[in-house]
Amino acid sequence: MDKNRSELFGHFSYDDDLTYEALLEVEEALTADMTSLLLRAGASHLDFTPQGDALTFQCVFEAHKLYIYRKIAAETVILLPNGVQGRLLCLDKDFNSLHIYWLRTGQWQEEERTVPFEPPQGLKIWKIGGTATDTAEPPVASARPGEEK
Q: What residue ranges do the domains of the chain occupy?
A: 6-114
The pLDDT tens digits of the residues spanning 102-116 come to 999 999 999 999 888
Residues in contact with 31: Cβ distance below 8 Å, sequence separation at least 6, in sequence order: 48, 50, 55, 57
Burial (CB < 10 A; 0-12, 13-18, 19+), residue 126, is: exposed
* Rounded Cα–Cα distance for residues 25 and 13 (Å): 14
Question: Measuring CA to CA, which residue among 21, 52, 46 is closest to residue 34?
Answer: 46
Q: Domain 6-114 class?
A: alpha beta
* Rounded Cα–Cα distance for residues 132 and 145 (Å): 25
The pLDDT tens digits of the residues spanning 37-78 come to 999 999 999 999 999 889 999 999 999 999 999 999 999 999
* Rounded Cα–Cα distance for residues 107 and 99 (Å): 16
Q: pLDDT at residue 99 above 70?
A: yes
**Regarding beta strands 97-104 and 84-92, do their DSSP bridges make them parallel or antiparallel, or are they unpaired?**
antiparallel
